[in-house]
Amino acid sequence: MMGPSHALSGAAVWLTGSWALDQFADYHQTPLALAVGTAVCAGGALFPDLDLSGKVTRNQGGATVARTFGVFSLFIAEVMEKISLGVYYATKLSRDPRRNNGHRTLTHTIPFTLLVGWGTTALCAAYGKWAVVSILFFMIGLALRGLFDEWAERAGWVVVTLLSAAAAWFTFANLPGDRGYPLIGTAVGVGCFVHILGDMITKAGVPILWPIPIKRRMWTMIGLPNGIALRTGSKAETIVLRAALTVLAVLAAVGLVAPSVLQRFNIEV
Ligand SMILES: [Zn+2]
């Protein structure tokens, strides 16, 4: 799946989940908390592809998401790719093939998802608002790059960076302090998980069972069979899937916000 589809699926899942919690579990969020969660989940849904490195020294290559903050994020991607490849070789069994690139390995596993979710929660608990503003800055940048890819391409990474900084600062100024913000860690973790599911419906698949060894393989790639798998960049993805995700996200957002808007104008339903 391509970047915009990943980001969109993160946003749609977060909004739909929030709507379900609001309806059935009586768990309500303020509009700001909803916006923050949605942006962070959309960004988190791109995070695993920050393992597609390019050539930092020549400022070339890398996934779209690796270009969010120019060479800085390209460098992070390079480091993440090398770490992933290292973990691949450290845990590989005899039937796992040799690889020279770490893409779609460590960052596309459940333990990584849990680690990122827990790590984010721990950072927010330890450093409070300062951790929140840094994480927001990073995730909003990824979300902007993913959701509005054509605009971001034209605007360039400096504009994306400045906008994310402004959005992070605004949120920082408006979120109440003295809390741990467990929602942010949850949103990042859910986003990573949604990304893995998105890659699973393509034929390359993801090592979702890692680290469970199967037939002397630790990195079994699980994905849909060729016949029904989604082709990356196909019309089924760029038109049908994205339209469905957009409709879902909009419906959930309307369902979440409409009741309080109606209430404000004293309209009973
Ligand atoms: Zn991926």
Residue-wise pLDDT tens digits, 131-153: 889 999 999 999 998 888 888 88
Q: Are 40 and 11 in contact (CB under 8 A)?
A: no
Could you tell me the distance, in angstroms and rounded to a whole number, from the CA of residue 53 to the centre of ligand 1? 12
Q: CA 88 to CA 92: how far, in whole Å?
A: 6
- pTM summary value: 0.89
115: pLDDT confidence band, cut at 50, 70 and 90? very high
Sequence spans of domains, the chain = 2-265
Could you tell me the distance, in angstroms and rounded to a whole number, from the CA of residue 81 to the centre of ligand 1? 12
Q: How far is CA 263 from CA 28, 68, 108, 254, 255, in A?
A: 15, 40, 43, 14, 13
* pLDDT recorded at residue 263: 76
* pLDDT recorded at residue 26: 86
Coil/strand/helix, residue 222? strand
Could you tell me the distance, in angstroms and rounded to a whole number, from the CA of residue 63 to the centre of ligand 1? 10
Could you tell me the distance, in angstroms and rounded to a whole number, from the CA of residue 1 to the centre of ligand 1? 7
Could you tell me the distance, in angstroms and rounded to a whole number, from the CA of residue 189 to the centre of ligand 1? 14
Q: Are 76 and 65 in contact (CB under 8 A)?
A: no
pLDDT at 89 over 90: yes
Tokens matching residue 261: 């808007």
Amino acid making up residue 49 = D
Residue found by looking up tokens 């400096």 in the block? 158
Using one digit for the tens of pLDDT, what is the confidence trace for 192-205?
999 999 999 987 88
pLDDT at 56 over 90: no
* pLDDT recorded at residue 232: 79
Calculate helix-pair angle for 129-147, 110-127, nearest 10 degrees. 140
pLDDT at 245 over 70: yes
Calculate helix-pair angle for 157-174, 31-44, nearest 10 degrees. 140
